[in-house]
Structure 1
């Protein structure tokens, strides 16, 4: 079930990334303090970092090196980071296939946290969609007309 749901997320993400490819490099990097992390690039990197922290590091135990936003200068750089996210999600969905309600213990900020894989998965994908909405709003603010990147379009 998680794998199929992630396919829907990927379809929406690909629509978003194709749209972002129409945005100028200057606007892609433009900082705007009214939109969370400040720029489209920063929002994309933040989405990836969140997946890597929760799924890669906490759920799968894969040590992460979180680079600063400035390490990602192009959409292509961000797409490469999303490819890493996709690898982690593949491992995650295989690891917990059929055990989506199993309680797992994670560490967050030095404290123990008990969640199930379904809740963790839901957390990271809703986080992505929250920031996708910010990206669409920011692009509109920059003068672009956002596309429909909903799962059902």
Structure 2
């Protein structure tokens, strides 16, 4: 699981770098699909990841006031701020936790923890696909979605 989270974080960081080339009006421009814009989609990815991890830890949800994160740099800082807590949770993950039940305050249903972790991973990958479509709409090359060749399997687990 940790490898796939590290993959998502690496791709997300590359999208942050990629977005630096955009004029502010393109970065915040409302588009079809996703969460509405590059900016809102990146914030949404971060919010969903952190909210679900907190739910897995039986902690209260922290709603992000998106108005406080209007620049790309602030969005990047928010992402980086949450990484240590998420990483610490993932390091404690064992296969024994896979089928434990959990719930989230924004839903009335219960899920297995393994299902939720996989949802978090797939959710980001889904939205990265939307960012890629928008990049192509702008005649720009998107960030590579390849997991292969990123060196994720060679890096130490305790980075």
Length-normalised TM-score, structure 1? 0.82
Distance 1:139 1:105, change over 3 A: same
2:96 is equivalent to residue 99 of structure 1: yes
Counterparts of 1:1-153 in structure 2, within 5 Å, are 2-32=1-31, 34-56=32-54, 58-109=55-106, 111-116=108-113, 118-152=114-148
The runs of 5 or more residues in structure 2 that have no matched partner are 150-159
| CA distance in structure 2 between the aligned counterparts of 1:55 and 1:27, rounded to whole angstroms | 31
Partners of 2:96 and 2:71 in 1: how far apart?
Answer: 38
Aligned residues between the structures: 149
Per mean C-alpha deviation after superposition, the further-off stretch among 7-16 and 123-132 is: 7-16
TM-superposed deviation, 1:75? 1.4
Cα gap change, 1:65 to 1:105, in 2 (>3 Å):
closer
Cα root mean square deviation, aligned: 2.2
Q: Within 1, Cα distance between the matches of 2:64 and 2:143?
A: 29
The alpha-carbon deviation at position 100 of structure 1 amounts to 4.3
| Contact map agreement 1:105 1:113 (CA 8 A) in 2 | yes
Q: Tell me which residue corresponds to 2:156.
A: none
Contact 2:103 2:109 in 1 (8 A): yes
TM-score normalised according to structure 2 size: 0.79
Unaligned runs of 5+ in 1: none
- Secondary structure at the counterpart of residue 105 of structure 1: strand
